């Protein structure tokens, strides 16, 4: 397995329940509070449109920072899975 060299661009894959409502804004606010002023967020709906696949790309500064982001995402009620 290849180790990460920080800082690095890091994509985080999310599977979330729709509708997004304020989740997208909460996600943006969290990332901005962590210093990510311009995170990239790509969206793709499932065939049934009940779920969304999100790819959030950030510039990670450390493994500890990635752990914080994953912890927040994994605990959020709208997130089914974070990879």
Q: Mean pLDDT in the chain? A: 88
Residue 3 lies in a domain: no
- 61, pLDDT greater than 80: yes
Q: What is the mean pLDDT of residues 54-68?
A: 92
Report the CATH number at residue 68: 3.30.70.260
User: How many domains are contained in the chain?
Assistant: 1
* Confidence at residue 9, expressed as pLDDT on a 0 to 100 scale: 93
Domain extent, residue 40, equals 8-82
Q: Which of 27, 39, 41 is nearest to 72 (CA)?
A: 27
Q: Which of 26, 77, 4 is nearest to 56 (CA)?
A: 26
Question: CB 54: neighbour CB atoms within 10 A?
Answer: 20
Q: What is the mean pLDDT of residues 13-37?
A: 85
The β-bridge partners of 52 are 16, 45
Reported pTM = 0.83
Separation between Cα atoms, residue 28 and residue 56, nearest integer Å: 10
The percent of residues above 70 in pLDDT, for the chain, comes to 98
């Amino acid at each position: 397995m290849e180790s990460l060299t920080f800082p690095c661009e890091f994509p985080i894959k999310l599977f979330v329940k729709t509708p997004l409502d304020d989740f997208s804004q909460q996600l943006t606010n969290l990332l901005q509070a962590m210093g990510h002023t311009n995170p990239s967020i790509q969206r793709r709906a499932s065939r049934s449109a009940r779920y969304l696949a999100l790819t959030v790309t950030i510039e990670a500064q450390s493994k500890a920072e990635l752990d914080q982001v994953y912890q927040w995402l994994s605990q959020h009620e709208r997130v089914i899975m974070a990879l």
